């Protein structure tokens, strides 16, 4: 009996409750908040090493968007420090905020105007709070400061924001592990971004460049042709000689040795058996037609190499007494210097007939 | 067939476009600093690289050795043959075949005799070509490129020498345009080369250090039994001319350099160097004036013209203000009146002073009357 009573009462109660719910929901439909996760979230940091100041480029797509008056909140985990950068504590001026209605994974879009407080309807308040400024809140100032559903948000914090190197940055935690940055956007979207802090994020690269010296001679056979007591002859590369001064060949020297180099000359004057054409001598001397002379001179171009005395002036010299004689030198490391070499030969009317030739050797070496 | 033709054409084009060199060789390292004990054999390698790209034939580079000693005081080597010393202790192959654009490592060894005296020994390993045989009227040119070997035979080595001089280049006491070049000479009477290390600093009129540079940034050595001159630039280095001095600048170029690196007044260059195993030390100072006369003359002219211009503008402005106030003419005429009166007074006082002087006897002066009191 008792059981029947309770059973009937229970059934009636269920029926009343069910019909009440049906009636209520018909007149007052439920609006259930759809909590959604942010998507394509990432934080690109400029440095990952412990205790290093780093820029953050935080990107994510908010499925629901951020309505007028709502906020985006970034919560950095314990040990990130936004208060003790040498450039000062983080504030709104160290942040850039961009909205891209077409997500593309790139930090671009419409730049939003951030203010410290009192945002107008088109601005956002950007406020750092909590211990060591670990929470950044971007609050919409009104109807013109919103994020559309499905838009991509990019928040830059540090020297990557407008202001550059004068901006403050977050200092990374002191422990090398993975950290989670909390993101909340608008009324319902949220998520986390993981970043891994390393004990060392840089690789040392070392290399050694050995010292070297390069020496080039453009032509090893030059010639005067037939010498004359009535006109000076100048050596040419085609060995036929000429009556006016001309470059016979070039020598090129370059080195990365810190002390530079010296180019020296060794050899003999024009010789035919036991007969010689006299070397012009140790001082720079001009051509004297009808007098036996054999000499050289040089001009330099490129690098820091210079022609040494007595070969540098407009006259000629051949200081065989000082051989191997210094022709050119550079006092430090230098790119290639090209020396334009000129040779002169004069004979007198008494010069013995014969086939005269000379062998010269140029020596290039570093200085000590 | 077509492919072969293309390859052949490629070779022909490469050989045409590549410059032909009679001698083109790079050796590395350019300088070797080695130490060893008497009786020891030291081995090493020298890399050769033939720079004559595009040439098909191999070149034969002959290996030779020569001792060297210092030439002058600039750090240039003077090769003196291979009669004794290090040049006779060096061993290597007689010649090396190197193809175009090929690198070849050439081994060498130094067999230090057990009787070798401790100290420094210096020679070069040369790689060169044989000059072609010249015929009538021809000059045959050969090339050699050398690697300097600076050997220290370990043992008890005497050290000696010291600072010979420290001045500005050419002993200048007045410098106008930077860079200021100071030079010092260090002698070495010891048994091995020494490398001085230290600084040259520049102190201005108020004794503040304005610059400090390495006294031997190229790590140059002083060989035994010689002295070496070191040049140190205080300020930006400039291209040198044939005499080893910085190229001369024009007036306005000098002004530009002087204003960029402005120095003016009484300066002191201070040298502080140490060298050798026993850390010998030398300190020296040299005083000189820096007078950037080109820049100063431009500045003075500028100030003068500015002052003149300012004075003229001020005068015109005053005249304009007075004319606006309508008192210019009035003031001008009253000014003239005042000037006339002042002139008259001056004339009369001159006359009266003359008349006083003319009086031979002093006049009896009336006693001063007491002012009457008004009741």
The two tokens of residue B202 are 């520049």
Phi, psi angle pair for B74, to nearest 5°: -105, -5
Which site among B22, B71, B138, B193 would you substitute to test the A interface, given the most A Cβ atoms closer than 10 Å to its Cβ?
B138
Residue carrying structure tokens 């100032």? A141
Give me the residue from A217, A224, A257 closest to B143, CB to CB: A217
- Domain range B21-130+143-153, CATH architecture: Sandwich (2.60)
In b/e form, how buried is each residue of A89-112, taking b as 16+ CB within 10 angstroms? ebbbbbbbbbbbeebeeebebeeb
Give, in order, the Cα–Cα distances in Å from A223 to each of A273, A274, A309, A359, B141: 18, 20, 24, 11, 11
Contact assignment for A223 to B139 by CB distance below 8 Å: yes
Report d(CA B92, CA B111) in Å as an integer. Answer: 11
d(CA A83, nearest CA chain B) in Å = 38
pLDDT band at B355 (very low <50, low <70, confident <90, very high): very low
- In this prediction, the residues of chain A whose per-residue pLDDT falls under 70 are 1-10, 13-35
A258 in contact with chain B, both atoms CB, cutoff 8 A = yes
Percent of chain B with pLDDT over 90: 63
A215 in contact with chain B, both atoms CB, cutoff 8 A = yes
Report d(CA A165, CA A158) in Å as an integer. Answer: 8
Chain B residues in contact with A355 (beta carbon < 8 A): 135-137
Under 8 Å CB-to-CB from A120, ≥6 apart: which residues? A141, A142
Q: Name the residue of chain B whose CA is nearest to A354's CA.
A: B136
- pLDDT reading at B56 higher than 60: yes
In this structure, of A161-165, A361-365, B201-205, B269-273, the range with the lowest mean pLDDT score is A161-165
Residue carrying structure tokens 């840089």? A202
Percentage helix, strand, coil for chain A under 3-state DSSP, each rounded to 5: 10, 45, 45
Contact assignment for A361 to B142 by CB distance below 8 Å: yes
Residue carrying structure tokens 């102190």? B203
E runs forming strands in B16-114: 23-28, 31-36, 41-50, 59-71, 76-79, 90-92, 95-98, 103-111
Which residue(s) pair with A140 in the sheet? A124
What ipTM was predicted for this assembly? 0.74
Q: Name the residue of chain B whose CA is nearest to A304's CA.
A: B239
Relative to beta strand B41-50, strand B103-111 is: antiparallel
* Per-residue pLDDT tens digits for A192-220: 999 999 998 888 787 778 899 999 999 99
| pLDDT attached to residue A203 | 83
The answer to whether A355 and B136 have CB atoms below 8 angstroms apart is yes
Sign of CA dihedral A343, B22, A335, A212: negative
**What integer best gives the mean pLDDT of chain B?**
85
**Which of residues B327 and A46 earns the better pLDDT score?**
A46
Contact assignment for B131 to A309 by CB distance below 8 Å: no
Q: Of the candidates A62, A48, A53, which has an alpha carbon nearest to the alpha carbon of residue A97?
A: A62
Relative to beta strand B163-168, strand B90-92 is: unpaired
Report d(CA B202, CA B295) in Å as an integer. Answer: 21
The answer to whether B28 and A210 have CB atoms below 8 angstroms apart is yes
In this structure, of A133-137, B118-122, B164-168, B258-262, the range with the lowest mean pLDDT score is B258-262
**pTM for this structure?**
0.66
Residue B177 DSSP class: S
* Per-residue pLDDT tens digits for B80-100: 999 999 999 999 999 999 999
Restricting to A residues 221-250, those with a Cβ less than 8 Å away from any Cβ of B are 221-227, 235, 239, 241, 248-249
Which site among B26, B30, B131 would you substitute to test the A interface, given the most A Cβ atoms closer than 10 Å to its Cβ?
B30
d(CA A87, nearest CA chain B) in Å = 29
In this structure, of B18-27, B28-37, B135-144, B300-309, the range with the lowest mean pLDDT score is B18-27
Q: What is the mean pLDDT of residues B244-264?
A: 83
Q: What is the mean pLDDT of residues B18-39?
A: 87
Q: Of the candidates A97, A101, A100, which has an alpha carbon nearest to the alpha carbon of residue A73?
A: A97
Report d(CA B179, CA B239) in Å as an integer. Answer: 11
Contact assignment for B221 to A356 by CB distance below 8 Å: no
Restricting to A residues 296-335, those with a Cβ less than 8 Å away from any Cβ of B are 304, 306-307, 309, 312-313, 324, 326, 329, 331-332
In this structure, of A330-334, B324-328, B336-340, the range with the lowest mean pLDDT score is B336-340
The answer to whether A92 and A104 have CB atoms below 8 angstroms apart is no
Q: What is the mean pLDDT of residues B161-180?
A: 93
Give, in order, the Cα–Cα distances in Å from B173 to each of A100, B168, B290: 69, 8, 8
pLDDT band at B360 (very low <50, low <70, confident <90, very high): very low
Q: What is the mean pLDDT of residues B65-94?
A: 95
Phi-psi region of A130 (alpha: psi -120 to 50; beta: other; left: phi over 0): left
Q: In which residue ranges of chain B is CATH 2.60.40.10 found?
A: 21-130+143-153
Provide the CA B309 distance to its chain's centre, in angstroms.
Answer: 41
Residue carrying structure tokens 């790689």? B127
Report d(CA B191, CA B271) in Å as an integer. Answer: 25
What class has domain B163-291? mainly beta
A184 in contact with chain B, both atoms CB, cutoff 8 A = no
Q: Of the candidates A181, A182, A175, A180, which has an alpha carbon nearest to the alpha carbon of residue A197?
A: A175
For chain B, how big is the Rg over CA atoms in Å? 40
Q: In which residue ranges of chain B is CATH 2.60.40.3880 found?
A: 163-291
Contact assignment for A361 to B219 by CB distance below 8 Å: no
- pLDDT reading at B229 higher than 80: yes
- pLDDT reading at B375 higher than 50: no
Q: How many residues does chain A have?
A: 368
Report d(CA B199, CA A201) in Å as an integer. Answer: 37
Q: What is the mean pLDDT of residues B62-82?
A: 95
Report d(CA B25, CA A256) in Å as an integer. Answer: 14
Report d(CA A135, CA A80) in Å as an integer. Answer: 10
Contact assignment for B29 to A223 by CB distance below 8 Å: no
Chain A residues in contact with B77 (beta carbon < 8 A): 262, 365, 367-368
Q: What is the mean pLDDT of residues B284-298?
A: 93
Domains, chain A, in order of start with CATH, read: 39-196 (2.60.40), 213-366 (no CATH)
d(CA B193, nearest CA chain A) in Å = 10
In b/e form, how buried is each residue of A268-292, taking b as 16+ CB within 10 angstroms? bbbbbeeebbbbbbeebbebeebeb
Q: How many residues does chain B have?
A: 375
d(CA A341, nearest CA chain B) in Å = 11
Contact assignment for B28 to A211 by CB distance below 8 Å: yes
Does A166 sit behind a cis peptide bond, omega within 30 degrees of 0 on the bond before it?
Answer: no
| pLDDT attached to residue A135 | 97
């Amino acid at each position: 009996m008792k059981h029947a009573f309770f059973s009937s009462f229970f059934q009636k109660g269920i029926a009343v409750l069910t019909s009440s719910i049906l009636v209520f929901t018909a007149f007052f439909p439920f609006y259930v908040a759809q909590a959604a996760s942010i998507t394509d979230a990432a934080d690109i940091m400029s440095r990952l090493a412990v205790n290093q100041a780093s820029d953050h480029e935080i990107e994510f797509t908010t499925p629901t968007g951020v309505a007028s008056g709502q906020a985006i909140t970034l919560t950095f985990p314990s040990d990130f420090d936004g208060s003790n950068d040498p450039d000062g504590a983080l504030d709104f001026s160290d942040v850039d905020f961009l909205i891209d209605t077409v997500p593309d994974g790139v930090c671009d879009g419409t730049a939003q105007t951030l203010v410290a407080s009192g945002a107008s309807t088109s601005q956002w308040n950007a406020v750092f709070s909590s211990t060591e400024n670990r929470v950044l809140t971007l609050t919409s100032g009104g109807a013109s400061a919103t994020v559309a559903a499905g838009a991509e948000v990019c928040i830059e914090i540090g020297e990557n924001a407008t202001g550059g190197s004068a901006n403050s940055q977050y200092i990374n935690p002191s422990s090398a592990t993975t950290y989670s940055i909390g993101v909340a956007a608008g009324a319902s979207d949220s998520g986390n971004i993981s970043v891994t802090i390393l004990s060392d994020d840089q690789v040392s690269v070392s290399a050694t460049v050995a010292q070297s010296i390069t020496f080039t001679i453009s032509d090893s056979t030059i010639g005067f042709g037939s010498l004359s007591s009535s006109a000076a002859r100048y050596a040419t590369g085609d060995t036929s000689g000429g009556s006016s001064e001309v470059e016979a060949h070039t020598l090129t020297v370059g080195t990365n040795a810190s002390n530079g180099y010296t180019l020296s000359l060794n050899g003999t004057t024009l010789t035919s058996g036991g007969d010689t054409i006299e070397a012009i001598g140790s001082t720079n001397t001009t051509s004297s037609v009808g007098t036996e002379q054999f000499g050289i001179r040089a001009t330099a171009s490129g690098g820091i190499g210079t022609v040494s005395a007595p070969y540098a002036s407009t006259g000629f010299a051949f200081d065989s007494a000082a051989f191997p004689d210094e022709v050119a030198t550079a006092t430090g490391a230098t790119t290639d210097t090209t020396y334009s070499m000129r040779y002169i030969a004069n004979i007198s009317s008494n010069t013995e007939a014969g086939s005269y030739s000379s062998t010269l050797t140029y020596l290039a070496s570093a200085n000590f | 067939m077509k492919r072969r033709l293309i390859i052949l054409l490629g070779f022909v084009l490469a050989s045409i476009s590549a410059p032909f060199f009679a001698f083109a060789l790079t050796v590395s390292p350019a300088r070797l600093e080695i130490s060893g004990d008497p009786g020891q054999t030291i081995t090493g390698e020298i890399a050769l690289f033939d720079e004559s790209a595009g040439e098909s034939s191999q070149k034969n580079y002959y290996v030779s050795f020569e001792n060297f000693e210092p030439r002058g005081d600039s750090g240039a080597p003077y090769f003196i043959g291979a009669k004794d010393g290090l040049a006779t202790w060096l061993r290597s192959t007689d010649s090396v075949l190197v193809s175009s654009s090929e690198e070849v490592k050439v081994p060498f060894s130094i067999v230090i005799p057990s009787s070798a005296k401790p100290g420094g020994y210096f020679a070069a390993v040369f790689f060169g070509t044989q000059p072609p045989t010249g015929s009538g009227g021809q000059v045959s040119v050969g090339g050699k490129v050398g690697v300097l070997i600076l050997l220290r035979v370990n043992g008890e080595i005497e050290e000696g020498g010291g600072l010979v001089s420290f001045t500005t280049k050419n002993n200048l006491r007045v410098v106008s345009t930077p860079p200021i070049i100071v030079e010092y000479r260090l002698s070495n009477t010891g048994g091995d080369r020494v490398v001085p290390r230290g600084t040259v600093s520049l102190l201005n009129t108020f004794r503040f250090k304005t610059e400090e540079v390495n006294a031997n940034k190229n790590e140059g050595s002083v060989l035994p039994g010689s002295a070496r001159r070191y040049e140190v630039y205080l300020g930006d280095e400039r291209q040198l001319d044939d005499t080893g001095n910085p190229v001369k600048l024009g007036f306005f170029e000098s002004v530009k350099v002087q204003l960029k690196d402005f120095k003016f007044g009484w300066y002191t260059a201070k040298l502080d160097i140490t060298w050798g195993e026993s850390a010998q030390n030398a300190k020296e100072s040299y005083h000189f004036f820096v007078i950037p006369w080109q820049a100063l003359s431009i500045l003075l002219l500028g100030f003068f013209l500015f002052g003149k211009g300012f004075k003229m503008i001020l005068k015109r402005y005053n005249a304009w203000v007075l004319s606006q106030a309508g008192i210019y003419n009035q003031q001008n005429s009253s000014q003239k009146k005042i000037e006339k009166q002042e002139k008259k007074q001056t004339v009369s006082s001159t006359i009266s002073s003359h008349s006083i002087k003319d009086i031979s006897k002093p006049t009896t002066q009336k006693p001063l009357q007491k002012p009457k009191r008004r009741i």
